[in-house]
Amino acid sequence: MLVRSLSVLALVLAPVVARAADEEHPYKSAKVGDFATYKMTTKVAGINVNGTMTQTVTEKSDKEATVKASMSIEVNGQKQDIPAQEQKIDLTKPFDPTKAANLPDGAEAKIEKGKEGKEKVKVGGKEYSTTWTEYTAKMKVMGQELDAKIKTWTAKDVGAGGMVKMTMTASIAGQDMEVLMELTESGNKK
């Protein structure tokens, strides 16, 4: 159960942390139908968890964007679909990754931005001109303390949040965790 919960947490946090420090709101220029699909690999407690996540902009106004995240993970050869989550994001306020992550009640998160730079990254058969950013995160979720180092690569031409790639190393419940997420497809479904 802890492995599944950690995998879901990584899936939920990654895209929002990726755009935490952007000066421009990451969903301001989004259009209904914009989507981004990611493959994810998580290694924790000697178990590999593979998964996919798709974020889709389902509604959009000048003041609010609605984003639906659908996920599936595979643990020990068994595929599990995670119930889709839909979230309304206020475009009139600065982007807050801790609110956008839709963390469980009682969860605490502190995310600090570190170094950043430019890099060309090839994922999903396409090369992107990205900005990479390093973060440290301290979270308390489901009674567990989590310390993480996160590096994200974002590109303005990727809809639904802009993340191209993310790596995370963390320690939780005495276990080391590694996460890799990479964009496999993006575009507009309309």
Mean pLDDT score of the chain, rounded to an integer? 78
pLDDT in tens, 117-156: 999 999 888 899 988 888 888 877 667 777 888 888 888 8
**For residue 106, what pLDDT is reported?**
65
- pTM value is 0.78
- Contact call for residues 166 and 152 (beta carbons, < 8 A): yes
Question: What are the C-alpha distances in Å from 88 to residues 8, 45, 80, 92, 146?
Answer: 19, 34, 25, 12, 26
d(CA 38, CA 57): 15
Question: What are the C-alpha distances in Å from 12 to residues 63, 92, 107, 111?
Answer: 23, 22, 13, 14
**For residue 93, what pLDDT is reported?**
81
Number of domains in the chain: 1
Q: Give the CATH number, domain containing residue 31.
A: 2.40.360
Domain span at 15: 2-188
**For residue 3, what pLDDT is reported?**
45
Mean pLDDT of 45-49: 82
